[in-house]
Structure 1
């Protein structure tokens, strides 16, 4: 069974005050950073008392939004960055598919060399270039990850249908440079996805105005973030995505038996504002397609249902498919789901 990382959430520092998250000490949440000079010790100044009763629970929305914007994983911080990408450099030419070529390539992301698997349809590109899909894989232990393994059938389906695909290894995966710090409490993987999109736009075989995203599991959240940050990305198909609001991930995602996780009211507000789910209106009508099995043991089906409801409530286009009894990889409905994703991109890219 594929392992998934647990969400690691940054401590909230507001004017030197640490707002504690009520949780068992054994849970793997990130500890506060060392206290800067002149600030109160975060280990001794906490919200205190029962959840939701501390003195900072009535913090203004303006101050809370400012705190969110300072977090490097926030949508605001991601939008403040630049994503130039680079030319795609061929590292290895692989055996071709029946209707497309396959190469290991690399691109630049924050000065790091990131490897990726590129597929390009054979034949004459359509006017303006091939449409392209930034392909975002789910969690695989970075030390075990190999560029050419897993998701082969998925890329094959899109390449056969006339799409360029680029499956980024993310930093710290395989032979990519950098550290693998996770997809939730560190911005690095999202930065790599956005630079992958920018790199595809530089390729003369690709139509820069016809880019979309496909994401599975952790890659679903990375895709949703990238879609919100970059308005030029036209559509996204998300499979079994870890796409619940951060406060839900912190409390409800695979809690240890008998060890309930709770949040005080301020942290719950903070995590909701930190989550990409709070910015769905910024999709501005760009379509999202969702796929999820009801017997997914890694990421609950309820995540998709809630996101679909939130998308519709935000006035966005949402196409959601439920696969009764299917697992995290949609093994029982793989061909059906792939065909639906291919058709979705044909209609929207």
Structure 2
């Protein structure tokens, strides 16, 4: 068993090749592990990959120790520090209708990360403005530009009176560092947590009223960050890659004609590595979910299963289904944005 765990750990850290998809704002499938044993079904009677509120209860100290040593695990992320830094203005942009816009930078593990900051005009409420860490989905890092994409999304929250900070993540655009992806490397999650810490340093922001918005890959980054940092109050996740890692390994975009399977040990390992195994640690902080049923990049089942898992874990969740809509909720964009804005008004 130890040999299998070590092999799984090794494969997870090394990762595998990208398989491109067509939509620029959707997530390319990256298999961040090569299970050492394939072709073996899960053990008879083993619980479903999703909807299982008993996920953390494996009673296997060696397995839990192996998971905790993986740098993408919740345990490893909690062991880090996220000091952030003061936000440094790099460029002042044309203002929005009732808010300012600036390209700023902050520090994350010694790297300069650029971000798009919006701040409401006028006198802040007592304690400061509520703020949203805005986490975008996959965009090829070399094509990414701080001021492009998600303009209408970020504008909706900015006009509603929230400070927003859209981090580029490391290696994107002119941000420093190497872009290693959002699943088999902790870097992007670290950048999100340092973005939140940097907002708390800003005197215009209420440090006790921070939330997260995430799309696609940004949905998983937001879920991880919220579990790691108990001071983050609420999260709205759109078309999120929020399935357990064992489901991503077997069911998400397999090559045509290929059936992926996991032996029981690796399935348990990947489940315990997933943020989905730690939903009870949200301790009642609310999560809102939005997903279209015609999403060609991230299956609607990911939202349904996470909603079930949240309820089974005793957590609050709002889940919205958009019949026939796509990965970007193009047909229902205004409705979804209005729902997200109201969600943050109610919970921040």
State the TM-score, normalized to the length of structure 1. 0.87
| Runs of 4+ residues deviating >6 angstroms | none
Partner Cα distance (2:308, 2:111) in 1: 38
1:9 aligns with 2:32: yes
Instruction: Give secondary structure in 2 for the equivalent of 1:237.
Output: strand
- Counterpart for residue 285 of structure 2: 286
- Specify whether residues 210 and 262 from structure 1 end up closer, same or farther in structure 2 by C-alpha distance, changes over 3 A only: same
Distance in 1 between residues matched to 2:256 and 2:29, nearest whole Å: 15
Cα 1:21–1:93 change in 2 (3 A) is farther
- State yes or no: 1:137 paired with 2:160: no
Query: What residue in structure 1 maps to residue 273 of structure 2?
Result: 274
**Aligned partners of 1:183, 1:83: CA distance in 2, in Å?**
18
Paired position in structure 2 for 1:20: 36
Work out the CA distance in 2 between the residues paired with 1:193 and 1:244.
Answer: 20
Deviations 1:41-75 (A, max 9, x none): xxxxxxxxx5669xxxxx96111000000000000
Show CA shifts across 1:177-210 (max 9, x none): 0000000000000000000000000000000000
Q: How does 1:1-349 map to 2 (within 5 A)?
A: 1-2=23-24, 3-10=26-33, 20-22=36-38, 50=40, 61-349=60-348
What CA deviation, in whole Å up to 9, does each residue of 1:192-246 have, x standing for no partner?
A: 0000000000000000000000000000000000000000000000000000000
Shift of 1:8: 3.4
Provide the secondary structure at the position in 1 that maps to 2:327: coil
Structure 1: gaps (5+ residues):
12-18, 24-49, 54-58
Q: What is the CA–CA distance in structure 1 between the aligned matches of 2:81 and 2:176, rounded to whole Å?
A: 19
Query: Which deviations, in whole Å up to 9, do the C-alpha atoms of 1:101-156 show, x marking residues without a partner?
Result: 00000000000000000000000100000000000000000011000001011111
SS of equivalent to 1:291: strand
Q: Give SS of 2:210's match.
A: strand
Distance in 1, Cα, partners of 2:107 & 2:146: 16
Question: Judging changes above 3 Å, is the alpha-carbon distance between structure 1 residues 10 and 295 closer, same or farther for their aligned structure 2 residues?
Answer: closer
> Post-superposition shift, 1:10?
4.5
Structure whose CA Rg is larger: 1
The whole-number CA distance in structure 2 between the counterparts of 1:110 and 1:84 is 9
Match of 1:30 in 2: none
SS of equivalent residue, structure 1 residue 201: helix
CA contact (8 A) 1:125 1:205 kept: yes
Structure 1 distance, partners of 2:90, 2:196, is: 19
Aligned length: 311
Deviations 1:73-103 (A, max 9, x none): 0000000000000000000000000100000
**What is the rounded CA distance, in whole Å, between the counterparts of 1:52 and 1:242 in structure 2?**
23
Provide the secondary structure at the position in 1 that maps to 2:224.
helix
Aligned-pair distance for 1:264?
Answer: 1.2
Residue pair 1:85, 1:107 contacting (<8 A) in 2 also:
yes
The whole-number CA distance in structure 2 between the counterparts of 1:210 and 1:160 is 17
Equivalence for 2:16: none
| Cα separation, 2, equivalents of 1:187 and 1:104 | 24
Q: In structure 2, what is the Cα distance between the partners aligned to 1:309 and 1:299?
A: 17
